Amino acid sequence: MTDAREVRTACPYCGVGCGVQARVAADGTVSVRGDPGHPANAGKLCSKGSALGETLGLDGRVLHPEIAGRRAAWDDALDLVARRFSETIAQHGPDSVAFYVSGQLLTEDYYVANKLMKGFIGSANIDTNSRLCMASSVAGHKRAFGEDIVPGVYADFEEADLVVLVGSNTAWCHPILYQRLLAAWAERGTRIVVIDPRRTATAAECDLHLQLKPGTDVLLFNGLLAHLAGCGAVDQAYVAAHTSGFDATLGLAVADAPSVRRVADGCDLDPADVATFYGWFASTERTVTVYSQGVNQSAHGTDKVNAILNCHLATGRIGRPGMGPFSVTGQPNAMGGREVGGLANQLAAHMGFDDPSAPERVGRFWNAPDIARRPGLKAVDMFEAVGDGRIKALWVMGTNPAVSMPDAGKVRAALKTCQFVVVSDVTRTDTSHFADVLLPAAAWGEKDGTVTNSERLISRQKSFLPMPGDVSPDWWIVSEVARRMGFAEAFDHPGPAAIFREHAALSAFENDGARLFDIGGLAGLTDAEYDALVPLHWPFPIGASAGAQRLLGDGLFPTADGRARFVAVRQEGAALPVDAAFPLVLNTGRLRDQWHTMTRTGRVPRLMANAPEPAVELNASDAAAQGIADGDLVRIDSRYGCVRAKARIGIGQRMGEAFLPMHWSGRFAANAAAGSLSAPVTDPFSGQPELKHVPVRIMREPVA
């Protein structure tokens, strides 16, 4: 190679889904810059994205298949995986095996894994780490809209007059989207309201910060619904023409939150601030409400989502320029996983087990007579089943549950006792230590496929580096195992383009327009057209010349009667209340410069510089009560485990609350994984675990 070459691809981190131009120099070094032609970021990159070129070394990579920790040939490893899965299924049935996959997978990888488990193994025991990220939004969308639809696009952030950020530290977790919002704030005077128990970087730059008591979001939005009705701000014509269930929902909201004073008391807010927020929402037609992990990662996450959606349905502010509810996803391809059905309670292509005809339809398309007919185990339940022996063979793809799952100590014990564990990943992780078979997967820059961001924009992720060692793409690894399990014909995929065409064709198969997720218009792409695919929104049905931008703005919803459904919800108490033994509420979340368990960002010194070690943030009063000074080493105990970290004392936390980043794992700091403290308590509708309200006690460690 004599000349540098540049490839247009997409960032592998957050759900903003920025376009990246990767330049490979003649000496093989890689530099990156934002793609000015990509609609999500128009050339900008955040700190993580701009450091992508520094994460590409081979340090820590899995380069060859391994069986029981020893290097093995691909054939031997694949044969063993296929044989052990087939034997387990023959002996104990299809539900005795499971896949735990990842929002880091490309859509094509996800599609093939889902097809193997649900279509040919005949179990729905495939779930994803996105369960920990946005499952409550999926469940809330389905309850209200009939389908998992994000109605808006990023441009709505710039066209709104009021943007309400709920449980979203957008400045750190979706930085480029936040920059777009800040530009609108400066140019257009957009009002920004932040609803968050923490004073985050996002809350530091807004017009109003409602620093509410953790977990009281339903009360706040029930109060808003009651206020909208009381001040005449409900769009009665829209509600009558396009929705059902308004009266019962309003009745419960009024009973729950009869006055601003009652809301302010329950949420521990200043009544004047609550009244200001309600007044702005009522009087501002162009309002976008953005919600993220602070809403989703809760034992009541789905109800919180529906409390927000109720207010947008009441005002008819859905899917029109500058208005709508907007769930932002944490991972680069959380949305792609939802599209293929990579959640245990979904089937494929937005078809679910709640539609009795869907398994037949998908089974016909796949020519799969033994297709799964009922939902499988969601993530927390899946690892419970691994631990108690119901699941005897587990394949973990591209994720690190040994530190990221709640009650992570119990998950590690489950992995240790599981009869057969396969891990396919890019690097060695805390989870790969438990692998009977370790398979080397292609990394960003080596693999090819598509991802979908939070605004339904499908982008290409492209390879620009050779795969080192024996590394192979995930779709190939899964297909090779499927072929060895006897499903050669159905998994004879020549490459990601063919898989994408099949995925697109399935989305349109026997779809009479009842489902909005339809990309049948892309099913005929040639390999060259797939390679050159420019970012486009779904839906993209047969005959379309462009993807649809906003959805649901016509008031027609993909429900049986075409109406959206109000969902009556009430404020519940904390699933895990504090007590004398564990008096503080622990919140967990992301830092600006790190990604997940730091397997990539942890290699970049400039990304480590701001927060080089795990630290728990405390309120000064709580610290003083325990004799803790800034920088002290502290021990954090919950009913599930123990973590050690430095204390950071600041103004970000309310009294009685603390915050611990989710990123640290055994690779970077022993005993610092936030997942070790969290409880396996989940939302009853979404199965998403409670990661924002964990009772803990924090004590100063004695100096040795």
Task: Give start and end residues of each alpha helix (H) in 418-510.
Answer: 474-484, 496-508
Do the Cβ atoms of 326 and 150 come closer than 8 Å? yes
Instruction: Say which amino acid occupies 330.
Output: G
Compute how many other C-beta atoms are within 10 angstroms of the C-beta atom of residue 373: 15
373 and 353 in contact (C-beta within 8 Å)? yes
Part in contact with ligand SF4 (CB under 6 A); list of ranges 41-49, 215-223, 506-514, 566-574: 41-49
Q: Does 291 bind ligand SF4 (CB under 6 A)?
A: no
Nearest CB to ligand SF4, comparing residues 17 and 146: 17
The CA-based dihedral angle spanning residues 687, 691, 694, 698, taken in that order and rounded to the nearest 10 degrees: 160
Task: Give Cβ neighbours of residue 451 (< 8 Å, ≥ 6 apart).
Answer: 10, 17, 106, 107, 332, 333, 335, 336, 458, 459, 461
Chosen residue from 39, 49, 341, 689 binding ligand SF4 by CB under 6 A: 49
Of residues 227 and 600, the one with the C-beta less far from ligand SF4: 600
CB of 154 to ligand SF4, least distance (A): 11
Q: Tell me which residues in 565-624 interact with ligand SF4 (CB under 6 A).
A: none
Q: Which is nearer to ligand SF4, 149 or 176 (CB)?
A: 176
The verdict on 17 binding ligand SF4 (CB under 6 A) reads yes
Other Cβ atoms closer than 10 A to 390 = 16
Contacts of 111 (CB under 8 A, 6+ apart): 340, 475, 499, 500, 502, 503
What DSSP element (H or E) covers 144? helix 135-145
Q: Return the number of the residue (101 or 607) whose C-beta is nearest ligand SF4.
A: 607
46 is a contact residue toward ligand SF4 (CB under 6 A)? yes
Strand partners, 7: 22
Of the ranges 16-24, 119-127, 268-276, 643-651, which one interacts with ligand SF4 (CB under 6 A)? Answer: 16-24
User: In this complex, which beta carbon is closest to ligand SF4, that of residue 175 or of residue 294?
Assistant: 175
The interface region with ligand SF4, picked from 7-15, 57-65, 208-216, 351-359 by CB under 6 A, is: 7-15
- Give, for 623, the enclosing helix (H) or strand (E): helix 620-625
The 324-327 sheet, strands edge to edge: 208-210, 191-195, 162-166, 287-291, 324-327
Least Å distance, CB 592 to ligand SF4, is 10
Q: Are 5 and 24 in contact (CB under 8 A)?
A: yes
Cα distances (Å, whole numbers) of residue 462 to 112, 176, 365, 682: 18, 21, 28, 36
Number of residues that bind ligand SF4 (CB under 6 A): 14
Which of 41, 296, 427, 638 lies at the binding interface for ligand SF4 (CB under 6 A)?
A: 41
| Rounded Cα gap, residues 502 and 493, in angstroms | 10
Q: What is the distance between the alpha carbons of residues 578 and 656, in angstroms, rounded to a whole number?
A: 9
Q: How far is the CB of 607 from ligand SF4 (least distance, A)?
A: 11
Name the segment binding ligand SF4 (CB under 6 A); options: 172-180, 256-264, 279-287, 514-522. 172-180
Smallest gap from Cβ 447 to ligand SF4, in A, equals 17
390 or 592: whose CB is closer to ligand SF4?
Answer: 592
**14 part of the interface to ligand SF4, by CB under 6 A:** yes
Provide the minimum distance between the beta carbon of 175 and ligand SF4 in the complex, in angstroms, as a whole number: 5
Nearer to ligand SF4, 296 or 453 (CB): 453
Which residue number places its CB atom closest to ligand SF4? 49
Q: 77-116 mask for ligand SF4 (x: CB under 6 A)?
A: ----------------------------------------
Angle formed by the axes of helices 217-230 and 260-267, nearest 10°: 170
Q: Is 13 a binder of ligand SF4 (CB under 6 A)?
A: yes
Report how far residue 46's alpha carbon sits from residue 52's, in angstroms, rounded to the nearest whole number.
10
Q: Binding segment for ligand SF4 among 11-19, 203-211, 334-342, 531-539 (CB under 6 A)?
A: 11-19
**Least distance from C-beta 11 to ligand SF4, angstroms?**
3
Task: Determine the interface stretch with ligand SF4 among 9-17, 164-172, 519-527, 692-700 (rule: CB under 6 A).
Answer: 9-17
Report CA dihedral (277, 283, 289, 294) to the nearest 10 degrees.
10
The Cα–Cα gap between 45 and 31 comes to 13
8-state DSSP, 61: B
In this chain, which of 11, 478, 616, 696 binds ligand SF4, going by CB under 6 A? 11
Q: What are residue 10's phi and psi, to 5 degrees?
A: -130, 150
For position 18 contacting ligand SF4 by CB under 6 A, the verdict is yes
Alpha helices in 271-371 (DSSP H): 271-283, 293-296, 301-315, 334-340, 358-366
Evaluate whether 687 touches 694 at the Cβ level (below 8 Å). no
427 within 8 A of 62, measured Cβ to Cβ? yes
32 binds ligand SF4 (CB under 6 A): no
* Minimum distance, C-beta of residue 407 to ligand SF4, in the bound complex (Å): 28
Check binding of 175 to ligand SF4 (CB under 6 A).
yes
Q: How far is the CB of 18 from ligand SF4 (least distance, A)?
A: 3
Shortest distance in whole angstroms from residue 17 CB to ligand SF4:
6
Phi then psi for residue 70, to 5 deg, are -115, 145
Nearer to ligand SF4, 49 or 140 (CB): 49
Using N-to-C axis directions, what is the helix angle for 358-366 and 496-508, rounded to 10°? 140
Q: At what angle do helices 379-387 and 408-417 cross, to 10 degrees?
A: 50
The answer to whether residues 674 and 643 touch, using CB atoms and an 8 Å cutoff, is: yes
* Pair of tokens at residue 75: 């054939």
What mask of x and - would describe binding to ligand SF4 in positions 129 to 168, judged by CB under 6 A?
Answer: ----------------------------------------
- Strand pairing category for 564-565 and 243-244: parallel
**Minimum distance of ligand SF4 from residue 110's CB (angstroms):** 18
Q: Does 45 bind ligand SF4 (CB under 6 A)?
A: yes
Q: What are phi and psi of 659, to 5 degrees?
A: -135, 130
Q: Which stretch binds ligand SF4 (CB under 6 A): 169-177, 549-557, 563-571, 641-649?
A: 169-177
Two structure tokens written together for 436: 């009977």
Tokens at 349, concatenated = 């292509």
695 lies in the binding site for ligand SF4 (CB under 6 A)? no
**Residue closer to ligand SF4, measured from CB, 55 or 345:** 55
> Taking the complex as a whole, how short is the minimal distance between the CB of residue 460 and ligand SF4, in angstroms?
14
AA letter at 578: V
The least CB distance from residue 176 to ligand SF4, in Å, is: 4
Residue number with CB closer to ligand SF4 (41 or 306): 41
CB of 14 to ligand SF4, least distance (A): 3
Amino acid identity, position 604? V
- Minimum CB separation of residue 156 from ligand SF4 in Å reads 17
C-beta closer to ligand SF4: residue 11 or 133: 11
**Minimum gap (Å) between residue 177 Cβ and ligand SF4:** 7
Q: What is the residue whose two structure tokens read 């992570």?
A: 408
Q: Of 173-181, 193-201, 398-406, 605-613, which part binds ligand SF4 (CB under 6 A)?
A: 173-181
Cα separation of 40 and 452, whole Å? Answer: 11
Evaluate whether 506 touches 349 at the Cβ level (below 8 Å).
yes
Q: How far is the CB of 554 from ligand SF4 (least distance, A)?
A: 31
Which member of 176, 551, 552, 618 binds ligand SF4 (CB under 6 A)? 176
For ligand SF4, the closer CB: 40 or 264 = 40
Q: Which residues bind ligand SF4 (CB under 6 A)?
A: 11, 13-14, 16-18, 41, 45-46, 48-49, 174-176
